[in-house]
A and B are shown apart, each in its own frame.
Chain A
């Protein structure tokens, strides 16, 4: 009886998943393996190997990779500093870190556009200092900047969480056994925080790889990511089958990524339990 009731609590979630995950994915996959007339074809899936799509995929993956690495480089030291600091109110720092997430993300990107545009704030400051203006907006770098700006909290939070939750005893034990600080960092803190880094990577890499809005606004429509091509297939070209085929291939990439880093998380979590 009690078990049945607990099961009932899951019903809203099951309805949600069926309505908004299972059925849409079913539709997308059906569209992906058929052509305009409804006949079976694999050409929408192999379309990823077309030179155009390959180029966009490479661009998407490399921009996402660079953004993810920058996010790690930015968050990891902050987490280490926070851990060792005697500052009592760590929650305040945490609060400041996630504060930007309270704002709509498109709004943040539009604000970034103002800052880095040709006549924007940065170039204005450079000009008053007598320096030559920089070409910032409408470049791949601008898109990376936007992605890092938007997704940094998603890296910061899990990394911080995993580093802060390493028990002090473990580190003291290592020091007792003769480890110096570098040894502690590489042999204790790093392996124990990998789970946080892993979920951070999943949470930054995946959305940045499927991104198209940031690329449109900060890239000036000159840089095509795979997300832009999919969007265009659905809205302009009206080729929903090809759009779905590319979406499915992109999903496969996402699946592989989360498989690699997801597995790692379990490993480290298990290691920690022991």
Chain B
């Protein structure tokens, strides 16, 4: 009796094995067996369609360990603490420059990547500010910083940073609780470069911000957009991607990049110096530039994409939205924010602290 049970079990096992074997073969066309290679990828949270990671593993057999951070500073701290060895890192322009300057990145042969040419030339040019040789940073998403405002609560269209400083909208303004972004606005408004290292220019900007503080309702980051959507504030300084989402919630909202110019930001991918399997890492970067993958990621995030192939297939409505595709003339007056020397950074920190404690 026992033997019979055993044989039944055996048969069951074998057939199960066969079935699963067949199952495995039928999906073989789409899925490659795991190669045992592992890539550790470090990105901002909610900054990639998770399905695209699975698809990459299915296509190449390379496993992806995915790590996330919320701010450039957090990403940098986590990266530097050395707990995990990352192969690929995606971060903001000035943080890319910092990592490149510290020798944390290794050059990538973008020329040999089949899909890298989908990235529009202007972004490689923009990235010259952080990566002059053009061999380290691969543009991923980009955008501008501008004002999101409620058209029903202001007189006419806004086209200047002046509305934040002239006192007309006292108590209705939300500024970014982010040091460089907030200083950037003031520097641009005063007609200076946002990468200035001149102490007097920075101090002038700080004085203006201190004068402006009583008019500011709050300094926020993620909630800035929501406050305008909810009608708690008339205008907020936001990133273009946020503006697009705000516009979806409330059609009365409008986004503008002021005429004095602003910051054009680019988040890029770097291959770290610790990456040993450069071939796999390059495959991943190439995969991200592929039109179908880039489109999926775009539809997940709705930030501006540098990928021409994605833009080509976009709906007209999206194409004409300045929050998705900022018009050329507004981008022309914008600058890329780069990492500044440590002395200036300290000055910034001190003045920012003074402003917040005022």
Instruction: State whether A221 and B349 are in contact (beta carbons under 8 Å apart), knowing that A52-B357, A229-B357 are contacts in the complex.
Output: no
Q: Which 10 A-B pairs have the closest CB atoms?
A: A220-B218, A221-B219, A237-B349, A224-B357, A221-B177, A118-B232, A119-B231, A119-B232, A117-B232, A52-B357
Please pick, from A55, A56, A117, A222, the residue contacting B219 in the complex, using a CB distance under 8 A.
Answer: A222
Instruction: State whether A222 and B354 are in contact (beta carbons under 8 Å apart), knowing that A117-B232, A236-B179 are contacts in the complex.
Output: no
Residues in B203-242 with C-beta less than 8 Å from chain A: 213, 216-220, 223, 227, 230-233
Q: How large is the interface on A (under 10, 10 to 19, 20 to 34, 35 or more residues)?
A: 20 to 34
Residues in A211-225 with C-beta less than 8 Å from chain B: 216-217, 220-222, 224
A82-118 contact mask (Cβ, 8 Å, vs B): 1 or 0:
0000000000000000000000000000000000011
Residues in A121-138 with C-beta less than 8 Å from chain B: 135, 137-138
A197-230 contact mask (Cβ, 8 Å, vs B): 1 or 0:
0000000000000000000110011101000110
Which A-chain residue is minimally distant from B214 (CB atoms)? A222
Instruction: State whether A235 and B74 are in contact (beta carbons under 8 Å apart), knowing that A118-B232, A221-B356 are contacts in the complex.
Output: yes
Residue B73, interface by CB 8 Å: yes
Query: B349, A236: Cβ atoms under 8 Å?
Result: yes
Considering the chains assembled together, what is the distance between the CA atoms of A168 and B223 in angstroms? 53
Considering the chains assembled together, what is the distance between the CA atoms of A109 and B171 in angstroms? 22
Q: Which residues of B contact A161 (CB under 8 A)?
A: none
Considering the chains assembled together, what is the distance between the CA atoms of A236 and B95 in angstroms? 12
Query: B71, A235: Cβ atoms under 8 Å?
Result: yes
Residues of A whose CB lies within 8 Å of any CB of B are 52, 55-56, 117-120, 135, 137-138, 216-217, 220-222, 224, 228-229, 232, 235-239
Query: A222, B213: Cβ atoms under 8 Å?
Result: yes
Q: Which residues of B contact A224 (CB under 8 A)?
A: 353, 356-357
Beyond the given A117-B232, A118-B232, please list 15 additional residue pairs across the A-B interface where CB-CB is below 8 A: A52-B354, A119-B231, A137-B232, A216-B177, A220-B217, A220-B219, A221-B177, A222-B218, A222-B219, A224-B353, A224-B356, A224-B357, A237-B349, A237-B353, A238-B73
**Closest approach, in angstroms, between the C-beta of A191 and any C-beta of chain B?**
41
Considering the chains assembled together, what is the distance between the CA atoms of A52 and B230 in angstroms? 34
Interchain residue pairs with CB less than 8 A apart (21): A52-B354, A52-B357, A117-B227, A117-B230, A118-B217, A119-B230, A119-B232, A135-B171, A137-B232, A220-B219, A221-B218, A221-B220, A222-B216, A222-B219, A224-B356, A224-B357, A228-B356, A229-B353, A236-B179, A236-B349, A236-B352
Which A-chain residue is minimally distant from B80 (CB atoms)? A238
Q: How large is the interface on B (under 10, 10 to 19, 20 to 34, 35 or more residues)?
A: 20 to 34
Considering the chains assembled together, what is the distance between the CA atoms of A137 and B73 in angstroms? 28
Query: A239, B232: Cβ atoms under 8 Å?
Result: no
**Total A-B pairs in contact (CB under 8 Å)?**
59
**Closest approach, in angstroms, between the C-beta of A24 and any C-beta of chain B?**
14
Please pick, from B179, B233, B353, the residue contacting A118 in the complex, using a CB distance under 8 A.
Answer: B233
Q: Which residues of A contact B352 (CB under 8 A)?
A: 232, 236
Looking at A119, A228, A236, A239, the one whose CB has the most chain B CB atoms below 10 A away is: A236
**Closest approach, in angstroms, between the C-beta of B346 and any C-beta of chain A?**
8
Considering the chains assembled together, what is the distance between the CA atoms of A135 and B171 in angstroms? 10
Instruction: State whether A138 and B353 are in contact (beta carbons under 8 Å apart), knowing that A235-B71, A238-B73 are contacts in the complex.
Output: no
Residues in B161-200 with C-beta less than 8 Å from chain A: 171, 177, 179
**Closest approach, in angstroms, between the C-beta of B142 and any C-beta of chain A?**
23
Considering the chains assembled together, what is the distance between the CA atoms of A222 and B209 in angstroms? 12
Considering the chains assembled together, what is the distance between the CA atoms of A56 and B346 in angstroms? 20
Q: Which residues of A contact B171 (CB under 8 A)?
A: 135
Query: B232, A236: Cβ atoms under 8 Å?
Result: no
Q: Which residues of B contact A237 (CB under 8 A)?
A: 346, 349, 353
Query: B353, A232: Cβ atoms under 8 Å?
Result: yes
Q: Which residues of A contact B357 (CB under 8 A)?
A: 52, 55-56, 224, 229
Please pick, from B179, B223, B349, the residue contacting A239 in the complex, using a CB distance under 8 A.
Answer: B349
Considering the chains assembled together, what is the distance between the CA atoms of A237 and B351 in angstroms? 11
**Closest approach, in angstroms, between the C-beta of B61 and any C-beta of chain A?**
38
**Closest approach, in angstroms, between the C-beta of A13 and any C-beta of chain B?**
26
Q: Which residues of B contact A228 (CB under 8 A)?
A: 356
